[in-house]
Structure 1
Amino acid sequence: MLGTTRYIALVGGGKQPKFPQNKVCSPDDSDSDPWVFITTDTYEVQIWNDATQVVATSLEFKTPIQRVRISQSHLIVVLLNNVGIYKMKSPPEKIADYETVNNPFGLCALGKGIVAFPGRAPGQVKLFETVTGNVSIIPAHESPLRALALNKKGDMVATASEQGTLVRLWTYPSCTKIVEFRRGVDPATIFSLAFSTAGSMLAVTSDKSTLHIFDLPVGLQASAAEPDPKTHKWGILSKVPLLPRQFSDTYSSATAKFDMGEEPVGWGPQSKSATFNAGIPGVPGGRPTKGLIGWLDDQTLLVIGAGQDARWEKFTVGVDETGRRAIFREGWRRYLD
């Protein structure tokens, strides 16, 4: 959906669409069924005007559409190995087109004047400036990307690989690393990364059913700060020089459990692989989305999951009785019958 406007991006098509657009009236009025289907393998993006109930504009593609991002000025269409950038008009005007590594989860972030998406090498982030057309590349990880996000200003990028142990924060346009956060020691599937509205926190969810809140550094020098044993997860061990880096890394300031829902036996977590797509046709990643984060304001966020047991949970970020950062669960609801 385009903000809170009447415009919604819809994706469909394929060989057996639930609501086919390729129905035409048969010229033989004596037919018992006056409608026939024209075989097509095209996939379509429609910009739907919900007030007038008409399609404002549309685009057709030959391969499945993994993700769409829209703003008042731009339309981004993500395919498995391609990202198309268009000016939002009728019809849309293509201004750039880039090849990518396999991108089954449709990773793409559209910010203020900038688009972030995977590059042509695993773990690489490509940044496209919509005004100038300038392109920057960040070699963010050695393994394929699993999640990325832009802050509201478009001057910070958060990335995570399919390893899921580290989350890295980069500045734009300098493309330098500010800080590296440790989600945990064991590998995990990162479901979602999202900056708070004021850009002071970063929320992260994973298939461990855990929501993490990381406090973002103030100024570029914050990344060089020494860990404080009083607040660090490993206490005084964070200051011992010969221990593995896991003991001195920056961990989340608060965590909470979210519910992924009671899916059928055999559903399993979303695939950890960021380069292989299998499962439900037409669904990015092949599995129902879980752990999707949406900030309502700088202290309140929702964690949303699709699937057979689709639900959302509401959390607020504050401080507990000891004065430490804490996450409080405010409520939840199943949103599908």
Structure 2
Amino acid sequence: MNTRPILDSYAGPHALSASFNADNSCFSVALESGFRIISSSHGETKVTREVGGGIGCAEMLGTTKYIALVGGGKQPKFPQNKVQIFDDAREKVTTSLEFKTPVQRVRITQKYLVIALLNSVGIYNMKIPPIKVAEYETVNNPFGLCAIGEGVLVFPGILPGQLKFFNVGNSQISIIAAHDTPLRTLAVSRKGDMVATASEKGTIIRVWSYPSCTKRAEFRRGVDDAVVFSLAFSPDGSTLAVTSDKSTLHLFDIPTSSQPKPDPAKHKWGSLSLAGPLLPRQFSDTYSFTSTKFEMGDEPLAWGPHSKSATFTASTPGVPGGRPTKGLIGWLDDQTLIVVGAGQDARWEKFVVGVDQVGKRVVYRESWRHYLDL
């Protein structure tokens, strides 16, 4: 099986960040000179816009109608405390929102615009101009953590490890203690009925049901601490994909309420998983059913990995998390997903879930490319 056919060679510019649209059909890339829209299925450029300065964050509505932009990089086009709504059909900014502090991240849907600042999250109706619905205080949130699904928005609470659920229908707030340490990554299922969380420790992944806000599953990514880059549910909600700074992509089965406990014969530690309190919990925890490596890319030595701390100082203003995006997951369908990275070595990789010669489910890399070369 050829798991890595090389599609092209690297000669691209520096990508500051990357973000998927709502259905993962495209991803937007923020550059030192503007932004691009890339097709997720093949990693090919659909739209290139030069704006005469750096864009740290580009969030796309649908395909290319409206794009929310935040200045960033070495020579920002816009101030980091402003969100510009760019109308791609007219190739101009139609409206903007200004804040007292730098914008950490933007999320945009057909109905809502969500702005994450360091210590608050603002929710707006997606109109021109946007209309403010609510604002909530958060703990320090330098990664701009916030995720939106059908009917629900999630973001950090006012205490480390705390998670808030905002019901977009009735504005009701629910709060849980998701982890003991600060949150590092969030994801919402497409139906809005599940939320996945990881803390800055990065060993345990938890899945929460919504609207009950009860724990549905708990997975062990590994024993050693790690930076969890991305969490993503498959479209049907049956699988959770996880990437980390270990350059590993893990896949976990999401249990249903009627599903029995995993068969010890299929558990990583076999019958030891039944030993309960006699052994450390990592012997009984649920591990991924398959994993593989993805490429973080070759970056300058001074670049370094994403910080493990959820309270570090951003090194690149305007860029979510202060570092180029790595390990961003997007599902194309229930068996196919891509992993995208920004930086000097900006990569697109396609993975497929299949079955090997002995009937075991596996995930393998089908192809990859440097997406900015095209």
What TM-score do you get using the length of structure 2 for normalisation? 0.81
Larger radius of gyration: 1
Match of residue 67 from structure 2 = 8
Q: List alignment gaps of at least 5 residues for structure 2.
A: 1-59
Match of residue 10 from structure 2 = none
Report whether the alignment pairs 1:72 with 2:110. Answer: yes
Report whether the alignment pairs 1:231 with 2:266. Answer: yes
Q: Which deviates more, 315-324 or 76-85?
A: 315-324
> Residues 134-149 of structure 1: matches in 2 within 5 Å?
134-149=172-187
**Aligned equivalents of 2:134, 2:308: Cα separation in 1:** 30
Report whether the alignment pairs 1:18 with 2:76. Answer: yes
Specify the SS of the correspondent of 1:158.
strand
**Aligned equivalents of 1:207, 1:297: Cα separation in 2:** 25
Report whether the alignment pairs 1:314 with 2:350. Answer: yes
Specify the SS of the correspondent of 2:364.
strand
Q: Which deviates more, 43-52 or 288-297?
A: 43-52
Moved over 4 A (4+): none
**Aligned equivalents of 1:151, 1:117: Cα separation in 2:** 14
Report whether the alignment pairs 1:156 with 2:194. Answer: yes
Aligned residues: 313
Report whether the alignment pairs 1:215 with 2:253. Answer: yes
- CA-to-aligned-CA distance 1:283-337 (integer Å, 9 cap, x gap): 2222111000011111111111111111111101122122222001011111235
**Aligned equivalents of 1:303, 1:253: Cα separation in 2:** 18
**Aligned equivalents of 2:258, 2:184: Cα separation in 1:** 27
Q: Is contact 1:193-1:293 (8 Å) kept?
A: yes
**Aligned equivalents of 2:312, 2:301: Cα separation in 1:** 22
**Aligned equivalents of 1:123, 1:213: Cα separation in 2:** 23
Match of residue 49 from structure 2 = none
Deviation at 1:244, TM superposition (A): 1.1
Q: Is contact 1:42-1:62 (8 Å) kept?
A: no
Q: Is contact 2:80-2:318 (8 Å) kept?
A: no
**Aligned equivalents of 1:240, 1:103: Cα separation in 2:** 39
**Aligned equivalents of 1:116, 1:277: Cα separation in 2:** 23
> Residues 75-114 of structure 1: matches in 2 within 5 Å?
75-114=113-152
Match of residue 266 from structure 1 = 302
Matched letter for residue 298 of structure 2: E
Match of residue 26 from structure 1 = none
**Aligned equivalents of 2:224, 2:76: Cα separation in 1:** 40
Report whether the alignment pairs 1:330 with 2:374. Answer: no
Deviation at 1:221, TM superposition (A): 4.3
The two structures, once aligned, show a CA RMSD in angstroms of 1.6
Q: Is contact 1:101-1:275 (8 Å) kept?
A: no
Q: Is contact 2:120-2:135 (8 Å) kept?
A: yes
Deviation at 1:235, TM superposition (A): 1.5
Which of 115, 119, 126 aligns to 2:164? It is 126
Which of 23, 48, 55 aligns to 2:93? It is 55
**Aligned equivalents of 1:108, 1:175: Cα separation in 2:** 17
- CA-to-aligned-CA distance 1:213-252 (integer Å, 9 cap, x gap): 001112x244xx4342221111122122311110111000
How many percent identity over aligned positions? 67
Matched letter for residue 19 of structure 1: K
Q: Is contact 1:314-1:331 (8 Å) kept?
A: yes
**Aligned equivalents of 1:13, 1:5: Cα separation in 2:** 20
Which of 318, 330, 336 aligns to 1:300? It is 336
**Aligned equivalents of 2:316, 2:112: Cα separation in 1:** 29
Match of residue 33 from structure 1 = none
- CA-to-aligned-CA distance 1:45-73 (integer Å, 9 cap, x gap): 12211112122322111211111111111
Deviation at 1:176, TM superposition (A): 0.4
Q: Which deviates more, 1-10 or 140-149?
A: 1-10
**Aligned equivalents of 2:120, 2:152: Cα separation in 1:** 17
Higher RCO (C-alpha under 8 Å, 6+ residues apart) = 2
